[in-house]
Structure 1
Amino acid sequence: MSSPATSSDREKVVSKLPGWLRQNVKIRAAQRGIEIQAAVEQGIRDWCALASTPAAIDTSGADSFSTFLPPGQWDEFRQIAAERRVSLIQGLAQSVQLWLDSHPAPDVERPEVTRRIIVCNQKGGVGKTAITAGLGEALAEDANSLHAVRVAKALAEALRASDNGSDDMPGCEDPLSVENLPGLGLRVLLVDFDPQCHLTNQLGAAPLPMNGDSLTNHMAGDPKGDLRDLIVSVDDEAFGGRLHLLPACNDAFLLDVRLSAVRARESALERALAPVEADYDVILVDCPPSLGLSMDAAAYYGRRRDGEKLGQSGALIVVQAEDSSADAYELLTTQIDDLRGDLQVDIDYLGIVVNLYDSRRGFIATSSLQGWVDIKDPRVVGLIGDLKEQKEAVRMKRPLLSYAPKSQQAIGMRALAREIV
């Protein structure tokens, strides 16, 4: 049946469609960046133009499906379905499947050079590990499934509200600020570069034993095997084998001492990870709260390489909306700027993530957020609230985006991923 519909000069059509087929066209339309109604319209047009009827589709369990079509298209479709002695439900299912067959899922767009993102701040406790894990999970989510993402304008609204002195975080609770988008489907390696092993423990992996091989050994030029043998998969259906972790070892507490005896120590991390880079689209390094030689090596690893575009790799700085983060930020950026000058390299700032934000903490939080917004370069690319789901995921030793995929923190992590890729 049909009824006059919207101001867009289309008519509303109500029929039935199997749930699996409705989900498939919803995902594929999102992957192709078009409206579902445009996909159905094209499918019906192509079905009507066929010389013969396609193979029948199982429509058992079909339930209500509505869309908007150009005036007259549904009547034409109904007439052709009658001539072919095909029910409207079957004809619609064949039309949708025809569109799906002629519009395959696009390939995941992979970077020409493996992107290297160092997640850092000299201050501990700001949530670098949570951001590293959440960002990596968001980058690796299934490209053939839809996931709730905070739209870009919601972050802009939140930051504008900060400019205007508002205590609210617009867009965080408003369902209109969230859209369902396909996952990014990238191959991601998380590197736990912190001797405290927080990232390793949060994802339920075991730290590497002190008497075995480790990233520290490879950086110090004393490997005991292949680095690939140390990497573990974050086994979760949402990531489809695309998310891996290089666990930490407590021997990293001695890394600065061991690096002091290494030639070209700034490139030690790059030399260690070079054998595995081709296996990944993005490598995320969870840095320790340190300004030592290990941080020099991490910053150098994130430098812009020859032929690499601006902003593809670099430093992602995690802060909180309080004063001590600002002090640590100054120390970190001074170190990176000194390294830039001493070694004559380009180290890009990918942005600032304000983590664990809660406007209910009053003037300290809101005024500090304003301070981060005012920096402009690097700009604020993420605003993640201080909510219970992240803490629960850590307690359960599970990835946040699979433990609480619809939580505001998960939605914000996906938005962050899209801001920097």
Structure 2
Amino acid sequence: MTTNGYDALPGMDAPELGPTGRPLREFPVPAPLADHGPARIISMCNQKGGVGKTTTSINLAAALAEYGRRVLAVDFDPQGALSAGLGVQNYDVTTIYDLLLNPKLDPHEAIQPTSVEGLDVIPANIDLSAAEVHLVSEVAREQILARVLRRVADDYDLILIDCQPSLGLLTVNALTAAHGVLIPLESEYFALRGVALLKETIDKVQERLNPSLELDGILITMFDSRTLHAREVLERVVDAFDSQVLDTVIRRTVKFPDASVAGTPVTQFAPNHAAAEAYRTLARELVVRGAVA
């Protein structure tokens, strides 16, 4: 018997398949770390807005912190949604914008703790929208964020950069600073169309600025298995990108906006909900894949 390319042994039932068409896998709870740092840096990227970048940044960071990892989330979007979603102040404080423009500032001054033990944030606000204009004449302007994060990397196991929905200079900075890229992708046709352009940008940064940059995975978000369209888009993504598509799939639920309004991760807002468990599963899968320590 064959199911989606997986052979069942004679006399055995075919394996239960997950949304991606692969057999469901159990990812073990990661062992505690004996020590911390230096951090691996992951950029959360997609030039299309509304695909779940910030939601994933918040909840993946919180889930990894639950597993004893020290995580720094960097809000790199002028909308400041990550800062708001984690309930931290982003006005009248030192932000990532200040750190980009003033190399004399100590990045530790911008770091704020959150309600999640082990999870800190460097906030952002609308001021960041002016950064590209100020940085365009700087020498090695694509590497400014990397220089900032290098000064705090030893304090963390993971630095997660929540990028704005654009492929401009700020996103190039994030990709140049990163070791890996995670692409949240809504299971919707127009979201799928932009992946090729994003992949081209990642390849250019890898070739010209950051040879060590890797694609850590494509994460399907806002998935609704009740619709044929969502299932077809997921099937096309798996066909095109194969093992680069993560097994974990994030389903659509009202719990995410509810948690955002409360300024807390869904892992705290509704710790027993399937949405919280989905991000814990994602955290475990990334550890198994080697994207996170």
Into which bin does the TM-score normalised by the smaller protein fall? Answer: 0.7 to 0.9
Contiguous gaps of at least 5 residues in structure 2: 1-27, 288-293
- What residue is the counterpart of 1:365 in the other structure? 230
1:40-90: CA deviations, max 9, x gaps? xxxxxxxxxxxxxxxxxxxxxxxxxxxxxxxxxxxxxxxxxxxxxxxxxxx
After superposition, the Cα gap between the structure-2 partners of 1:328 and 1:111, relative to the gap in structure 1 and judged at 3 Å, is farther
After superposition, the Cα gap between the structure-2 partners of 1:324 and 1:272, relative to the gap in structure 1 and judged at 3 Å, is same
Letter in 1 for 2:236: G
- What residue is the counterpart of 1:407 in the other structure? 273
1:349 aligns with 2:225: no
- What residue is the counterpart of 2:129 in the other structure? 253
- What residue is the counterpart of 1:174 in the other structure? none
Work out whether residues 183 and 217 of structure 2, in 8 Å CA contact, stay in contact via their aligned partners in 1. yes
What is the identity percentage for the equivalent residue pairs of Structure 1 and Structure 2?
35
Letter in 2 for 1:396: A
1:379-390 alignment runs, 5 A limit? 379-390=245-256
1:366-413: CA deviations, max 9, x gaps? 100111222115222430111121121112112210111111111110
1:393 aligns with 2:274: no
1:234-257: CA deviations, max 9, x gaps? 12xxx43x1111111211101211
1:149-228 alignment runs, 5 A limit? 184-209=67-92, 213-220=94-101, 222-223=102-103, 225-228=105-108
SS in 2 for 1:359: coil
Cα distance in structure 2, aligned partners of 1:381 and 1:269: 31
Letter in 1 for 2:207: G
- What residue is the counterpart of 2:150 in the other structure? 274
Instruction: With the length of structure 1 as denominator, give the TM-score of the two structures.
Output: 0.58
| C-alpha deviation, 1:343, in angstroms | 3.0
Cα distance in structure 2, aligned partners of 1:136 and 1:376: 25
After superposition, the Cα gap between the structure-2 partners of 1:401 and 1:344, relative to the gap in structure 1 and judged at 3 Å, is closer
Cα distance in structure 2, aligned partners of 1:127 and 1:335: 20
- What residue is the counterpart of 1:302 in the other structure? 178
Cα distance in structure 2, aligned partners of 1:342 and 1:199: 29
Cα distance in structure 1, aligned partners of 2:34 and 2:198: 32
- What residue is the counterpart of 1:130 in the other structure? 55
Work out whether residues 120 and 287 of structure 1, in 8 Å CA contact, stay in contact via their aligned partners in 2. yes
Work out whether residues 138 and 417 of structure 1, in 8 Å CA contact, stay in contact via their aligned partners in 2. yes
Work out whether residues 213 and 223 of structure 1, in 8 Å CA contact, stay in contact via their aligned partners in 2. no
After superposition, the Cα gap between the structure-2 partners of 1:349 and 1:110, relative to the gap in structure 1 and judged at 3 Å, is farther
- What residue is the counterpart of 1:284 in the other structure? 160
After superposition, the Cα gap between the structure-2 partners of 1:191 and 1:344, relative to the gap in structure 1 and judged at 3 Å, is closer
Cα distance in structure 1, aligned partners of 2:197 and 2:141: 21
Work out whether residues 217 and 224 of structure 1, in 8 Å CA contact, stay in contact via their aligned partners in 2. no
Cα distance in structure 2, aligned partners of 1:275 and 1:346: 19
Work out whether residues 110 and 186 of structure 1, in 8 Å CA contact, stay in contact via their aligned partners in 2. no
Cα distance in structure 2, aligned partners of 1:270 and 1:381: 30
Work out whether residues 114 and 282 of structure 1, in 8 Å CA contact, stay in contact via their aligned partners in 2. yes
RMSD: 2.0
Contiguous gaps of at least 5 residues in structure 1: 1-29, 34-105, 142-183, 304-313
SS in 1 for 2:139: coil
| C-alpha deviation, 1:272, in angstroms | 1.1
Letter in 2 for 1:189: L
1:47-58 alignment runs, 5 A limit? none
Instruction: With the length of structure 2 as denominator, give the TM-score of the two structures.
Output: 0.83
Aligned counterpart in structure 2 of residue 231 of structure 1, from 111, 135, 141 = 111
Work out whether residues 32 and 68 of structure 2, in 8 Å CA contact, stay in contact via their aligned partners in 1. no
Number of equivalences: 259
